[in-house]
Amino acid sequence: MPRRLLDALFDRADELPPSWVHDLAPGSDGGRVPEIVHCAHLEPRLLQCRAYRLALRSARRLLGAKVKLAFDHAIFKPSGDGAVTALHQDLAFSPQWDVPTATIWLALVDATDANGCMRFLPITPEGLLDHEPSGRDGLAAIGLDVSDARPCPVPAGGFTAHSQRAVHGSGPNRTAQARAAWILKFERDDRSWRRRTWERSLELQGVAVPRRFRHLVEAFAPVTSARGPARTGPGPARADQQEGSAQPLPSGDQRA
Ligand SMILES: O=C(O)CCC(=O)C(=O)O
């Protein structure tokens, strides 16, 4: 079910807020790495899927606490397309949001070395490495040797999990089928029981919870300001991957 819902999102990518549709490919000449962020805002029925419940449960075990979805995105690497996702740490996208997270990278097809499964450096650094822009929307950790990263193949429905500091990326897709993944980042949940239960009941009805709804309205509205024209181009990839106080969004107890 997530695959069908996400396929439909990619099919209408040109109708989505441009700042939520990215290309993480490192260069303009080596293929594409299409990414849509905030998929669960755009398609709340994703949160009704069994895959979501299992990801939530796994993240709860990993963090040892109640968890909520902080950010999600989907990356569908086209068939036969040669682009990699550069090695990076997720923390580099939002260095000010340095909290424990568990990111579940859920394979929607068998993810193999041939189609660009995730690859990780075996040792996770304690700090944030230096990064530089990679292509239109990506970031790349500087000075790493990609041959040190170990591929982690997983079957369809399986997942890898990583923290904000884990150094990871993925290889090119050299197969005839798209490499599809839905990626869910969870953080500890400090909402009240009442809030949590209410928001979950909305999610189970396929309704966007209020904070997601407001974020959606903001994303679809043209951004106008006294200083300049509406912003229509893509932003830095995942600059809004967390929705903390620096963002014009509800936070804390209001977040799912
Ligand atoms: O799927 C990919 O190619 C990379 C995924 C990734 O970088 C992430 O989940 O943070």
Instruction: Read off the pLDDT of residues 176-233 as tens digits, 9 standing for 90 and up.
Output: 999 999 999 999 999 999 999 999 999 999 999 999 999 999 999 865 544 443 333 3
85 pocket-lining for ligand 1 (C-beta < 6 Å): yes
Instruction: Read off the pLDDT of residues 46-68 as tens digits, 9 standing for 90 and up.
Output: 999 999 999 999 999 999 999 99
Q: Whose CA is nearest to atom 10 of ligand 1?
A: 90
Query: What percent of the chain stands above pLDDT 90?
Result: 80
Taking the centre of ligand 1 as the mean of its atom positions, its distance from the CA of residue 170, in whole angstroms, is 7
93 pocket-lining for ligand 1 (C-beta < 6 Å): no
Question: Domains of the chain: which residue ranges?
Answer: 2-254
Instruction: State if pTM tops 0.85.
Output: yes
245 pLDDT above the threshold of 90: no
Q: Are 177 and 79 in contact (CB under 8 A)?
A: yes
User: Cα separation of 5 and 99, whole Å?
Assistant: 30
Taking the centre of ligand 1 as the mean of its atom positions, its distance from the CA of residue 189, in whole angstroms, is 23
Phi, psi dihedrals of residue 161, rounded to the nearest 5°:
-130, 140
CATH node for 2-254? 2.60.120.620
Instruction: Read off the pLDDT of residues 17-35 as tens digits, 9 standing for 90 and up.
Output: 999 999 999 986 678 999 9
User: Cα separation of 225 and 230, whole Å?
Assistant: 7
Question: Which of 75, 89, 121 to probe ligand 1 with, by most ligand atoms within 8 A of CB?
Answer: 75
74 pLDDT above the threshold of 80: yes
User: Shortest CA distance to 77 belongs to which of 43, 118, 116, 42?
Assistant: 116
The stretch 136-140 carries a mean pLDDT of: 93
105 pocket-lining for ligand 1 (C-beta < 6 Å): yes
Instruction: Read off the pLDDT of residues 126-135 as tens digits, 9 standing for 90 and up.
Output: 999 999 999 9
